[in-house]
Amino acid sequence: MRMKDFDASVVILTADRLAMLRRLVEALKRQSVTPREILIVDNESSDATASWLRSQAPPFVRPIAGRRDASFAEARNRAVAEARGEWILFIDDDCVPAPGWLERARELAASHDAFGGPVLAFAALPGPEWFDPEMAWAVGLSTPGAFTPEAGYSILPQAANLAVRRTMLLAHPFQTLEAATFADAGARKYAAGREDAELWPRLRVAGCRTTFDPRFVVLHDIDPARINLEYIRERMRWDGRAAAARSAAPRVIEPALNEVARARLPGRRTTAQRLWIERQREYLNACRELGEPSLQGAGWARSRGRAWVRQLAAQTKQAARRRLTPRTEPDFWKGQPEWKRIAVATQGYIGDMVILAALLRALKRRLPPDAELTLIATSRTEALYRGLDVAHRLCFADARGQGRQRIWRCLAQSRPHVIFIPYWHDASPAVVFNHEAAAILTFDRDVGFSHQWWHDQAAFALAKDFTVNELVNLARLFAPLGVAGPPPAMEWPRDPEAAAQAGRLLAETGAGASERLIGIHFGATRAAKFWPLERWAGLLRAMSERWPDCRFVIVGATDLAPQAGALIAQAGAGVRAFNLCGCDDLRIFPELARRMALLISTDSGPRHLAAAVGCPTVGIYGWTDPRRWGAFYNPDRHLAVCAGDPIMTANEIAGDAARAIRRVTVNQVLEAASSLLSNVTASNP
């Protein structure tokens, strides 16, 4: 093969569309990169397709005899089985690849296992007033979501423009349904559709590195007759039945019940919304026909009744909120008085509070002399913030029991004009929201509130951007008070008393003052962050062999001490590791981290704290996104290790939150640690 070639089999399914097929093949031949082969599955075309295929030069254009009574999934699996390329690129016979399509595919293949891209219209289509771009998927085009950060996660690629490594497809073939075949006319054939929507999450769960690239484009020659209300309605209904046949999981059924129940309540709805409700009804009916237990007999009535009550209550609350609170619009800031008394109320985790410290310091420095900044935070934050100049007034109390009373008294004394709530975990925020004199500002999601009600009740809820570092979101929240972008890095002050105590702890283990220490924080409170103990033991052995002069410090909460002991025993007698679990006091840990050449952890809290005192870190990630929760400052000293696609949806992790992090290998972490230690040694000879 020439250097410009791409080891890929382009797969095309066809039936009775010779003119379009010829146009597609010619367009592929004009691409700047040549694939290994073009596989055409001819499903018993009745036109001249078969004779034209015989005239094409083998083995570049290779026909495969398909069946008229086969489904899309069966035909695709047949092509994958006979393909010779390392990659399989699917494109429909009525599509045309954009210039550079194969070249872009080759670039993406270097760092991914599966990818897709937008499917756009080949020519102008009629645009009736009722047509909404969100309906585009029902006629074979991408929706506007294809050009948002959600593309590839909640917005899935279509088989008309999809590329997957052949080994992945052999291990995870398309799920076949016998509900429809190529012989079916119109939208009826989609009763066996959604094979692409079912495959994509399954590949991601299996560990595929996936992406959705807006530059990987094909153009779809849509029949204008599809822009027809009856066609789209029928297409959506069959899609609902196909979705039920492929997955009738409770986590999908409940949202569908809620949507259908909401449609029974008064309110104006667009054509797109009405059609989607019809699709959801068809999905639920099909689930019921397939024997879903929760939708049988009296359970069917109870499920619909509960959903209707939930939606009625939600609508009633929403109407009340509109009367009681200001609207969350961008012009909220217009005409606001100059706030002089400001409170930041948070019940954040340790990592949250480390990130927040730099913002608080910057905010306090930007306030006028007659302004006052009050900080309300958890009791555990008191040790963390000792010696930090971050607020004029401090209240450290948990929003439970008597702690609520302390928070209430602090608010009564400080009388803030505005309260910012960046995080609020594991407790009700009612004590803050009940302070009626203050305007409450927060994010629209991912704050930690137990219910959407609290987001909606805020005077302003800023849309959180999940594609940027969390520090950038915090800076956006505080921007109205003059915080212009992320502040300089926080220099965490030394605590001489805590440093002396840390020194005594290390001396008791026999660690010399000049010995190189590597910290291991293996415990995390969430299952999604639990890397198996045997992997940690394997990592300790591998690091001990590579750096025999190093000692390993196992740190964590007191209740992890037994597991740390088991970890050290499993690692073996040759590993010089000692157990300091229980010494995670937030005053002592930063001083321990100052002595470490490196900290390896699955938990963002210890990593952020170690980074704040200058310790390089390796973060082991599961389904959370390193772009959001990784280090913002000095990123070359803080590496993220993850396997497959780190961003996973709630449905993809359902039932096994640690699935993603288990894909991380010992060797991946070892190489990241080696890279950092080499850099540290080179910069500190």
Query: Which run of H or of E encompasses 9?
Result: strand 6-14
- For 390-443, write each residue's pLDDT tens digit: 999 999 999 988 999 999 999 999 999 899 999 999 888 989 988 766 789 999
> Once rounded to an integer, what is the mean pLDDT over residues 327-331?
44
The structure tokens 């009535």 sit at: 301
Mean pLDDT value of segment 625-641: 89
Q: Which residues, in sequence order, are bridge partners of residue 14?
A: 42
Band (645; pLDDT cuts 50, 70, 90): low
Angle between helices 588-595 and 496-508 (to 10 degrees): 60
pLDDT of residue 52: 93
Q: For 152, which DSSP code?
A: T
For tokens 């088991």, name the residue: 566
* pLDDT confidence band for 312 (50 / 70 / 90): low
Residue 321 confidence (pLDDT): 44
pLDDT at 584: 57
Strand order in the sheet with 114-116: 61-65, 35-42, 6-14, 87-91, 161-165, 114-116, 210-212
The per-residue pLDDT for 334 is 52
CATH code for the part of the protein at 6-224 = 3.90.550.10
* Residue 148: closest CA among 160, 133, 162: 133
**Measured distance CA(325)–CA(322) in Å, rounded:** 6
What percent of the chain stands above pLDDT 90? 49
Res 101 pLDDT > 90:
yes
Return the top range by mean pLDDT from 58-62, 86-90, 382-386: 86-90
pLDDT tens digit sequence for 224-259 = 999 999 999 999 999 999 988 887 676 678 788 878
What number of other Cβ atoms are within 10 A of residue 178's Cβ? Answer: 13
Tokens of 348: 């954040």
With cut-offs at 50, 70 and 90, classify the pLDDT of residue 306: low
Per-residue pLDDT reduced to its tens digit, 488-505: 887 788 889 989 999 999
**Of 297, 175, 190, which is closest to residue 240 (Cα–Cα)?**
190
Is residue 493 helix, strand or coil?
Answer: coil
H helices of 130-289, where? 166-171, 195-205, 229-246, 250-263, 271-289
Instruction: Copy the structure tokens of residue 363.
Output: 């905010």
pLDDT above 70: residue 683? no
Q: Are 536 and 600 in contact (CB under 8 A)?
A: no
Burial 93-118 (b: 16+ CB within 10 A, else e): bbbbbbeebbebbbbbbeebbbbbbb
Are 49 and 21 contacting, i.e. CB atoms less than 8 angstroms apart? yes
**What pLDDT is stored for residue 87 in this prediction?**
97
Q: Could you tell me if 242 and 196 are in contact, meaning their C-beta atoms sit under 8 angstroms apart?
A: no
What is the pLDDT at residue 454? 84
Unique residue bearing structure tokens 């409940």: 254
**Topology agreement, domain 6-224 and domain 496-683:** no
Which top CATH class is 496-683? alpha beta
Q: What is the pLDDT of residue 516?
A: 92
**pLDDT higher than threshold 70 for residue 388:** yes
- For 507-528, write each residue's pLDDT tens digit: 988 887 788 999 999 876 677 7
Residue 32 has pLDDT above 80, yes or no: yes
Work out the end-to-end distance of the chain between its first and last CA atoms, rounded to an integer number of angstroms: 47
Q: What are phi and psi of 368, to 5 degrees?
A: -65, 160
% of residues, the chain, pLDDT over 70: 88
DSSP 464: P
pLDDT over 60 at 323, yes or no:
no
Burial of 657 (0-12, 13-18, 19+ CB in 10 A): middle
- What residue spans define the domains of the chain? 6-224, 248-324, 333-481, 496-683
Tokens of 663: 């894909």
Taking the CA atoms of 42, 109, 211 and 135 in sequence, report the sign of the dihedral they define: negative
- What is the rounded distance in angstroms from the CA atom of residue 79 to the CA atom of residue 65? 10
- Listed residue (618, 404, 591, 620) closest to 530, CA to CA: 620
Instruction: Compute the average pLDDT of residues 355-375.
Output: 91
The average pLDDT across 131-136 equals 90
Q: Quickly list H helices, 483-587.
A: 496-508, 533-546, 561-571
- Short-list 642, 607, 586, CA closest to 388: 586
> Does the structure show a pLDDT above 60 at 595?
yes
CA distance 278 to 270: 13
pLDDT over threshold 60, residue 672: yes
Helix (H, G, I), strand (E, B) or coil at 196: helix
Topology classification of domain 333-481: Rossmann fold (3.40.50)
Separation between Cα atoms, residue 667 and residue 684, nearest integer Å:
25
361 near 389, Cβ under 8 Å? yes
Cα–Cα distance measured from residue 512 to residue 82, given in angstroms and rounded to the nearest whole number = 63
pLDDT in tens, 63-97: 999 888 888 999 999 999 999 999 999 999 999 99
Amino acid 21 reads L
CA-closest candidate to residue 90, choices 218, 205, 225? 218
Q: Copy the structure tokens of residue 340.
A: 């002089």
What separation in angstroms does the CA of 175 have from each of 80, 172, 653?
13, 9, 20
What is the Cα–Cα distance from 18 to 63, expressed in whole angstroms?
13
pLDDT confidence tier of residue 324, bands split at 50, 70 and 90: very low
Element (H, E) at 307: helix 297-324
Helices 229-246 and 195-205, interaxial angle, to 10°? 40
443-447: average pLDDT: 91
Identify the weakest region by mean pLDDT among 160-169, 414-423, 646-655, 659-668: 646-655
Query: 200 and 157 in contact (C-beta within 8 Å)?
Result: yes
Query: Confidence class of residue 204 from pLDDT cuts 50, 70 and 90?
Result: confident
